[in-house]
Structure 1
Amino acid sequence: MKAIEISRPGAPEVLQLCERPMPELKAGEVLIKVHAAGVNRPDVLQRLGRYPVPPGASDLPGLEVAGEIVAGELAGSGFNMGDMVCALAQGGGYAEYCAVPVAQCLPVPHGWSAQEAASLPETFFTVWSNVFDRAHLAKGETLLVQGGSSGIGVTAIQLAAALGHRVFATAGTEEKCRACEALGAEKGINYRSEDFVEMVRQATAGKGVDVILDMVGGDYIPREIDALADDGRIVMIAFLGGAKGTVDLGQVLRRRLTLTGSTLRPRPVAFKAAIAANLREKVWPLLASGKIRPVIHSVFPLEKAAEAHALMESSAHIGKIVLTVAAA
């Protein structure tokens, strides 16, 4: 099969088209003929040599795919051979075929293309796991999304808004802020010219927000603590602004604050299967009804994965970047 491999750690150009053996299926896995694959920030970190591949996972980048089930054990899964699915992968998505646990597959939402469906798994699994399972965003609570125009951001905004929450989001340009608002954010906050602490406190009558989804870290942490309501939670999924931050422990104690976080890729199949079940029950109907829609900025052919990575690193995109695969 054709695939994109990381020839060595480095710039986008180290992504090279290659020939690889077909994946060998493990127990509980299915083989997907890939029609499209999502591009995510962890793929970039892996290419740079900063995101080690978990033991037993493919060294090929790519954490989400959409395509056709062509082999594997399907008994009891609810799927049939030939079904179109989207799936969370542990790696190997930048290829014509990808092996994934069947428990991490979800049906392609009605009316969605393969390219649109490929934009779903990594972001929706991540947002659900962190915002709703880990940070326990509850009815009537508010959410601040840092990096609202990213793939994670557009997912978190739409999902929380569709479930009835007030949502605020930060972004780096006025265009991106307006895009966040069009997706359901009450206010897009330009972090280059506005103070998100002041803005969310004004919007919440001084209370602050209940949950913050943070992918920045660094010097955002003390400001985020100031932006939290009492009993508020910060949940971290990345630290693009630095791995170290200052925490005012006095505020944590007095105001009963929580700082937590997680990474998804190393978690066991059973953990991801539980997220998939929740998504299918609670979120997939919102996709089918159109309450949540795909937000795709650009689509590239597989062989131009380097261009896709260059776009992601530029942060010029709003929403997802997707690769299409010739095997489709």
Structure 2
Amino acid sequence: MKAICIESVEGKPELFLRDVPRPEPKEDEVLIRVKCAGVNFADLYRAAKHLGNAGDTPHAIAGLEMTGEVVALGRGVRGMAVGTRVMGFATGAYAEYCCVHDRHLLTVPDALSWAQAASTAGNFVTAHDALVTNGEMKPGEAVLVQAASSGVGIAAVQIARLLGAGLVMGTSTTPAKLERLSQLGLQLGIDSVRGDFAEAVLEATRGAGADVIIENIGGDTLPGDIRCAAVKCRIINVGRLGKWIGEVNLDEHSRKRIRLIGVTFRTRTAEEIAEVIQRAGAVLLPALQAGTIAPVIDRTYPLDAAAEAQEFMRAGRHFGKLVLEVA
């Protein structure tokens, strides 16, 4: 089969299209004929294994998210049939075939195309886990999404509105992206280049602050998060598009009784990943079928242009998902 493999060139990880053996499903796994693969920010690190204990890639195949059709079942698989359209996380997703634990998959709603399905798990499942499971967002609460025009940010904005947030705020460095986000449910777009986002949040909430903050940037914005956090705010450290290290005013952190929570799939067990995916699916699948929420696609690339797609993502000019069309 064709696959995009990570190989070291003078100490740097590079991507190459290779012919490698088709994998065979192990116990509790299904073999999937991949239709499309999603490109994620984590892919830029070019690590062959990002999903903790979720899989194995003997040929260092890139990618962690895909959609496709089940073509074979491993021993012990229940509730899954050959021919089922599925989407989900998968180690080695940039390939014509991959094997995935059966509980790490969701059935693709009829309303979604293959490209849309490849744009769902990485962003919407991650955003649901951050906002609902860890952020414990309640109807009526004020939510701030940092880097709201990122993939997880776009999903978080939609999920917050779906679940009844009282005020959905988000930051971006590009006014045109904030305008597009307003069509997806963003109520207050904050141009983080032109102004102080923390002051904007405090003004919009009449000094109360944000109840939940989805932090996709990192150390650059963490001090401002503390400033505009409400009492008992939950700050969820999802991504680090900026600095990995930041200062925290510990007195304010303590005074406001803020919870700073880190989330990742890298250290989760296979069972923990399954729980996250199935919990999110119960909420997201009906909304995706109804069109209440929807993946946003910026552009698609053929599989052999994976390196080009990653470089376009690195430049940060996209709005929505970049997708590799495999079949």
Check whether the contact 1:157–1:184 (CA below 8 A) recurs between aligned residues: yes
Cα 1:12–1:292 shift into 2, 3 Å = farther
Quote the Cα distance in structure 2 between the aligned partners of 1:52 and 1:277. 19
* Correspondences of 1:180-219 after superposition (within 5 Å): 180-219=181-220
Could you say if the C-alpha distance between residues 12 and 282 of structure 1 is closer, same or farther in structure 2, counting changes exceeding 3 Å?
farther
Displacement of 1:240 in angstroms is 2.6
Aligned equivalents of 2:95 and 2:10: distance in 1?
20
- Using a 3 Å threshold, how does the CA distance of structure 1 residues 270 and 52 change in structure 2: closer, same or farther? closer
Structure 1 equivalent of residue 39 of structure 2? 39
Partner of 1:259: 260
Amino acid at match of 1:238: G
How many Å separate the matches in 1 of 2:239 and 2:174? 21
Name the residue aligned to 2:280: 279
Question: Residues 43-82 of structure 1: matches in 2 within 5 Å?
Answer: 43-46=43-46, 54=52, 57-58=56-57, 59-73=60-74, 77-82=78-83
Q: Deviations over 1:84-136 (max 9, x none)?
A: 111211x2000000111110111111221111101011112211222211121
CA distance in 2, matches of 1:54, 1:195: 37
Which residue in 1 is equivalent to 2:159? Answer: 159
Alpha-carbon distance change, 194 to 74 in structure 1, aligned in 2, over 3 angstroms: farther
1:23 maps to what in 2? 23
The 10-residue stretch of structure 1 (178-187 or 22-31) with the greater mean CA deviation from structure 2: 22-31
The whole-number CA distance in structure 2 between the counterparts of 1:169 and 1:10 is: 41
Change in CA separation of 1:179 and 1:216 when aligned onto 2, cut-off 3 Å: same
- Secondary structure of the residue that 1:149 maps to in structure 2? coil
Shift, 1:13, TM fit: 9.3
Letter in 1 for 2:143: L
* Bigger mean CA offset, 262-271 vs 28-37: 262-271
For residues 7 and 43 of structure 1, what CA distance do their matches in structure 2 show?
Answer: 14
User: What is the letter of the counterpart of residue 109 of structure 2?
Assistant: P
1:220 paired residue number = 221
Q: How far has the Cα of 1:267 moved from its partner?
A: 1.2
CA distance in 2, matches of 1:264, 1:52: 7
Q: How does 1:173-184 map to 2 (within 5 A)?
A: 173-184=174-185
CA distance, structure 1, for counterparts of residue 77 and residue 319 of structure 2 = 38
Q: Tell me how far 1:174 sits from its aligned partner.
A: 0.8
Change in Cα spacing, 1:173 to 1:275, as seen in structure 2 (3 Å) is same
Q: What fraction of aligned residue pairs are identical, expressed as a percent?
A: 38
SS at match of 2:123: helix
CA distance in 2 between counterparts of 1:153 and 1:253 reads 27
* Secondary structure class of the residue paired with 2:27: coil
Find the residue that maps to 2:8 and give its secondary structure: coil
CA distance in 1, matches of 2:313, 2:10: 15
C-alpha deviation, 1:235, in angstroms = 0.7
TM-score by length of 2: 0.93
Q: Hey, what's the Cα distance between the residues in 1 that align with 2:188 and 2:9? A: 39
On the 8 A contact 2:51/2:265 being kept in 1, the answer is no
Q: What is the RMSD computed on CA atoms of the aligned residues? A: 2.1
Determine the C-alpha separation between the residues in 2 that align with 1:124 and 1:163.
13
Alpha-carbon separation, structure 2, partners of 1:280 and 1:300: 27
Alpha carbons of 1:293 and 1:107: their partners in 2 closer, same or farther (altered >3 Å)? same
Could you tell me how far apart the structure 1 residues matched to 2:41 and 2:99 are?
A: 21
Q: Deviations over 1:170-223 (max 9, x none)?
A: 111110111111110101111111211111111111111111111211131111
Contact kept in structure 2, 1:74 and 1:102, CA below 8 Å: no
Q: Does the 8 A contact of 2:171 with 2:197 survive in 1?
A: yes
Measure, in 2, the Cα distance between the counterparts of 1:12 and 1:311. 19
Secondary structure of the residue aligned to 1:100 is strand
Contact 1:230-1:256 within 8 A present in 2 as well:
yes
Aligned equivalents of 1:268, 1:237: Cα separation in 2: 18
Give the Cα separation in 2 of the matches to 1:20 and 1:103: 26
Return the letter of the residue paired with 1:57. Answer: D
In 2, the alpha carbon distance for the partners of 1:271 and 1:231 equals 26
